Chain A
Amino acid sequence: MPDKVSPIKALPPASRTYGAIGPHSERPHWGMVIDQERCTGCWSCAVICKSENDVPLGAWWNRVLTEGEAVDQPKEEHGHLGMDWLPLTCQHCENAPCVKVCPVQATYHRDDGLVMMDYERCIGCRYCMIACPYGVRVFNWGQPERPTPHETGMVAARPLGTVEKCSMCVHRIDEGQVPSCVWSCPSQARIFGDLNDPASRVSRLAHEGRVLLEESGTKPSVFYLKPRRKREL
């Protein structure tokens, strides 16, 4: 997909070490655990995602939802005020509704479990957006508007009239680096790795976590660790 050469190789060694994926099995299934206990709702992941992937104005691949009535508004629980966030992006489902409904196989699974988009094949019918229960797909309604006159990020901009979404920063994964949102999270609330490797940290944590809309049977590759203590305000 990316037709730009990733400058990741040019990063200083310390930075590359920090972002390295680490040991994994021979046939990895990439997955992510998001620790809601650690999330502070700072939107760093959402913002770096926009610049990393050149997501145009008005569209977001990655959002931070507040579990409550309004953004960053505390909610009352058992007489205490609390505030939790739910960072939401493509769940890279194993049983992905979007892959099932795409009439032209423009959205498909890679061998490593990632749900990918073929932007040259997509006909822009938006059926995948209808099918996705997580609402993480965005459409290129018009010519992309950007805050700067030039393109940003590490991947090519998507054509008008196609659906786009989180690629789990596949261009970084293919260079042995974790996705941008994982790398940038200041509280290390995102843990990335190989779900096929039982010894990996992500596998161990995934067992403790839950998936979103489990009753829908989509089998996401993204797991959530519930907030474990009450924040009293």
Chain B
Amino acid sequence: MTAGTLPLAGRRSPRRSFSRLAVWVLALCALTVVGLAAFAYQVANGLTVTGMRNTMMWGQYILFFMFFVGLSAGGLIVASAGRLFGVAAFKPITRLAVLEATVAVMLAGIFILPDLGRPERVLNILLHANRTSPMVWDISIVITYTLLSMTYVWLYTRADLARGGSPLALGTGTSPREMARDERLKSGLAWVALPSAILLHSITAWIFGLQISRTFWHSAIMAPLFIASALVSGLALVILLALLLRRFRRIEFENDLIRYLGALLAVFLVVEGFLVGSELLTAAYPGAEEAGPILRLLTGNYALLFWTEIIVGLVVPFVILAVRRTRSRPGLVALAAVLAVAGIFVHRLNLMLSGLSYVRIGLPPGVSVGTAMPASSFASFHWYVPTVVEWLVVLGVLAFGALLFTIAVLVLPLREREPHAH
């Protein structure tokens, strides 16, 4: 049975599962087209169709950009840690994990585009690159990391592709020499991939953390914090995808693995909580002006979001994963993983909102909003709400990502062949 003919839903008849797959793929295509249309509408009318203004100049697109950069961490932890530290238990999900990383980092790159006021000039970043701009560093590492993860995916699936006679093997074979070369390359790549992953999250953090204009962001903890958030959300997503694909019989593993990954996720949650707490204490302790954005976060406009992040995103999943009995039930681990991913999303939302909603020279009447307003064109605070257009664009990109992932799952052998073949 070649990878391409495996039915997506194991127990159902091939025909019925094919039709369900077709509906799924068509829905994703439709959503992608809707997203593209929304993007075209935005390009024609300008970013005025978004909820962003001069008082909140970055919004949903950059939020999803940093969220997806974080999600791409999962694959590399599983793949590199498995190889560098000899964790053999990860083997059944390694291919899935690197595939997840590839799709996530590609989506992160795509999310930069709709944020630009002049997306047609995006190549200027390569043509007139400014070496001192963290954004240039970040785009470089996003491109590097995308290529690296794609190489990884191919390297891990190449031999099985070759066995199935797939053209995706690019003419390579399964001779002992080629198999030995695979192992050498995988080990070598792990040594490059792990530092790249750390750089990817650090540089993304530095886009925010190096700015003296944003007191809430200007902190050395940003890079470690971004790495921690990435580990949490990336691993949680890998757990979810692994359970999902096991349901669809695309991969196989024992429940022990989920318990193991759950424990690891609990550790990552502790690190995340520790860094968030440390940052908040350091920022809030001096009081006065510096504590402004913190107080807003703890008690003000964004308090509900903040406490959601802490309780729903950190405490609840940690408790589920810390207790051995609940950790042994895959359903509950999945719930914890959903909460952890959502928690990191809200964490990044809070980071964005509290960083940007604070003006250093906050004297009245404030900053000019940027579009003609009936009463005053100035404001010092702006309650950012993404518009329908922003949601449609985001939905379109997400659907495109899901489409890529689905196709990759259908085309690539995610299950290792050797144990069954021999």
Is B359 on the interface with A (CB-CB < 8 A)? Answer: yes
Q: Given that A66-B364, A122-B118 are known contacts, is A103 also in contact with B54, CB under 8 Å in the complex?
A: no
A148: chain B residues within 8 A (beta carbon): none
Question: From residue A134, how far is it (CB to closest CB) to chain B in Å?
Answer: 6
B118 and A65 within 8 A (CB):
no
B361 and A139 within 8 A (CB):
no
Residue of B nearest to A217 (CB): B212
Is A156 on the interface with B (CB-CB < 8 A)? Answer: no
A135 and B367 within 8 A (CB):
yes
Complex Cα–Cα for A147 and B211 (A): 36
Complex Cα–Cα for A73 and B364 (A): 10
Name the contact of B130 in the complex, choosing from A69, A105, A159 (C-beta under 8 A).
A105
B54 and A65 within 8 A (CB):
no
Q: Given that A131-B211, A160-B46 are known contacts, is A58 also in contact with B377, CB under 8 Å in the complex?
A: yes
Number of chain A interface residues as a range: 35 or more
A132 and B48 within 8 A (CB):
no
A145: chain B residues within 8 A (beta carbon): 371-372
Q: Given that A125-B116, A161-B116 are known contacts, is A142 also in contact with B48, CB under 8 Å in the complex?
A: yes
Which secondary structure characterizes the binding site on chain B?
Answer: loop
**Which of A94-102, A109-117, A168-176, A177-185 lies at the interface with chain B?**
A94-102
B115 and A135 within 8 A (CB):
no
A133 and B360 within 8 A (CB):
yes
Is B135 on the interface with A (CB-CB < 8 A)? Answer: yes
Residue of A nearest to B380 (CB): A135
Number of A-B residue pairs with CB-CB distance less than 8 Å in the complex they form? 174
Number of chain B interface residues as a range: 35 or more
Name the contact of A129 in the complex, choosing from B48, B57, B121, B139 (C-beta under 8 A).
B57
A57: chain B residues within 8 A (beta carbon): 371-372, 377
Q: Given that A123-B125, A125-B115, A212-B361 are known contacts, is A101 also in contact with B367, CB under 8 Å in the complex?
A: no
Complex Cα–Cα for A140 and B369 (A): 10
A73: chain B residues within 8 A (beta carbon): 364
B54: chain A residues within 8 A (beta carbon): 59, 129, 135, 137-139
Is A141 on the interface with B (CB-CB < 8 A)? Answer: yes
A130 and B211 within 8 A (CB):
yes
Complex Cα–Cα for A56 and B57 (A): 18
A125 and B135 within 8 A (CB):
yes
Residue of A nearest to B53 (CB): A141
Interface residues of A (CB under 8 A from B): 56-60, 63, 65-71, 73, 86, 88, 97, 100-106, 121-127, 129-135, 137-143, 145, 159-163, 212-213, 216-218
